[in-house]
């Protein structure tokens, strides 16, 4: 397997496409504001010594403790709640605000699980981190996003955990540990549907753990109003769509992904090519499709 296939994408930052995408993520600004200070500190721990000297004469010893934190952020929550998209857009905005050119966002591929050969998964994980480190060099930044993190970092204590999986988790932990020497210039975002499935050692290392939930009625109303603005639907029609995408008949609330990747395409398919998209198309689909099942975190 070539190194190229270790990553699904390698995106130079800042990226205009990610900046535009952030504007379509409902609640992104509020979530970003909530974790911004911690993230900014995480990406600048290498400058803490100078800050300590300037403001505290170098006597604030807790700076040494903070500087030792692991550059790991965990986003967890149900499927389709936007964890990976938010991670990518947050990374992009942080780099843009820092005016740090020549940065790269890496998205790890599930192909690092390999083909089952002995030692392959651990080797591929190590290779991926090596490339990220090389990209950062001595002065640049690199951010690694790991999607479906529980598939690579499942708890080693689980009875069904194979030797290869345990080796891979050990490798991942060691790689995260090694990143501390880069003073925050390399950060890992690990996204998972099941926080409890992650190895405890990784959970302990996370500088930030942020939960993502399915959208509330008001959040779905805002999403539908934003996405369907060109249709000029009235408030009652939007309200009917909000109700239709809420919990009903024992089914859970729709996720963001359910609305954008299932409802909209199916409704468009009803209208295209002869008719304009109408409320009736959307409502018919919304009342017949079912929400994605909840991914239980046990």
> What pLDDT does residue 159 have?
55
- Per-residue pLDDT band for 298 (boundaries 50, 70, 90) equals low
Q: What is the pLDDT of residues 188-219, one digit of tens each?
A: 999 999 999 999 999 999 999 999 999 999 99
Closest alpha carbon to 292 in 80, 37, 8 = 80
| Of 97 and 240, more confident | 240
Q: What is the mean pLDDT of residues 259-265?
A: 98
Q: Which of 5-19, 116-130, 207-221 has the least mean pLDDT?
A: 116-130
Q: Residue 248: how many CB atoms within 10 A of its CB?
A: 13
Q: Residue 196: how many CB atoms within 10 A of its CB?
A: 13
Q: Which of 87-96, 101-110, 115-124 has the least mean pLDDT?
A: 115-124
> What pLDDT does residue 45 have?
86
> What pLDDT does residue 120 have?
84
Q: What is the mean pLDDT of residues 95-121?
A: 82
Going from the N-terminus, what domains does the chain have, and what CATH number goes with each?
Answer: 7-212 (3.40.50.300), 217-288 (no CATH)
**Cα angle: 83, vertex 119, 297; to 5 degrees:** 30
DSSP 84-148: HHHHHHHHHHHHHHHT--SEEEEEE-GGGG-SS-TTHHHHHHHHHHHHHHHHHTTT--EEEEESS
Q: What is the mean pLDDT of residues 249-275?
A: 96
Q: Which of 30-34, 163-167, 252-256 has the highest mean pLDDT?
A: 252-256
Are 74 and 176 in contact, with CB atoms under 8 Å apart? Answer: no
Are 63 and 48 in contact, with CB atoms under 8 Å apart? Answer: yes
> What pLDDT does residue 166 have?
86
Q: Does position 295 have pLDDT exceeding 90, yes or no?
A: no
Task: Determine phi and psi for 292, rounding to 5 degrees.
Answer: -60, 140
- Per-residue pLDDT band for 2 (boundaries 50, 70, 90) equals very low
Q: What is the pLDDT of residues 45-103, one digit of tens each?
A: 888 999 999 999 999 999 988 888 999 999 999 999 999 999 999 999 989 988 776 89
> What pLDDT does residue 115 have?
67
DSSP 8-state code for residue 150: G
Helix, strand, or coil (residue 20): helix
Q: Does position 10 have pLDDT exceeding 80, yes or no?
A: yes
Q: What is the mean pLDDT of residues 274-284?
A: 98
Q: What is this structure's pTM?
A: 0.90
Mean pLDDT of the residues in the chain? 91
d(CA 222, CA 107): 29
Q: Residue 271: how many CB atoms within 10 A of its CB?
A: 14
> What pLDDT does residue 158 have?
63
> What pLDDT does residue 226 have?
96
> What pLDDT does residue 44 have?
84
Q: What is the mean pLDDT of residues 153-161?
A: 68
């Amino acid at each position: 397997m070539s190194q190229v296939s270790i990553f699904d994408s390698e995106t130079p930052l800042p990226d205009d496409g990610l900046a535009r995408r952030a504007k379509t993520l409902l609640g992104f600004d509020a979530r970003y504001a909530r974790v911004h200070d911690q993230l900014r500190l995480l990406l600048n721990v290498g400058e803490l010594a100078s800050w300590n000297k300037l403001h505290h004469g170098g006597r604030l010893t807790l700076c040494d403790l903070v500087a030792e934190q692991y550059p790991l952020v965990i986003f967890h929550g149900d499927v389709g709640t936007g964890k990976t998209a938010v991670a990518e857009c947050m990374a992009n905005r942080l780099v843009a605000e820092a005016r740090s050119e020549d940065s790269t966002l890496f998205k790890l591929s599930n192909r690092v699980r390999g083909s089952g050969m002995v030692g392959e998964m651990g080797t591929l994980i190590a290779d991926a981190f090596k490339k990220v480190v090389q990209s950062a060099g001595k002065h640049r930044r690199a951010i690694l996003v790991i999607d479906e993190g529980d598939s690579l970092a499942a708890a080693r204590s689980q009875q069904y955990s194979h030797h290869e999986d345990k080796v891979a988790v050990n490798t991942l932990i060691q790689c995260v540990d090694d990143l501390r020497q880069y003073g925050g210039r390399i950060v890992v975002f690990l996204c998972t549907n099941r926080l409890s499935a992650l190895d405890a050692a990784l959970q302990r290392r996370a500088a930030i753990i942020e939960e993502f939930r399915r959208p509330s009625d008001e959040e779905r109303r805002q999403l539908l109003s934003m996405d369907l603005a060109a249709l000029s639907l009235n408030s009652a029609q939007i309200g009917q769509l909000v109700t239709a995408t809420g919990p009903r008949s024992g089914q859970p609330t729709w996720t963001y992904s359910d609305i954008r990747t299932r409802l909209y395409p199916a409704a468009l398919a009803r209208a295209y090519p002869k008719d304009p998209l109408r409320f009736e198309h959307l409502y018919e689909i919304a009342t017949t499709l079912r929400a994605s099942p909840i991914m239980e975190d046990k």
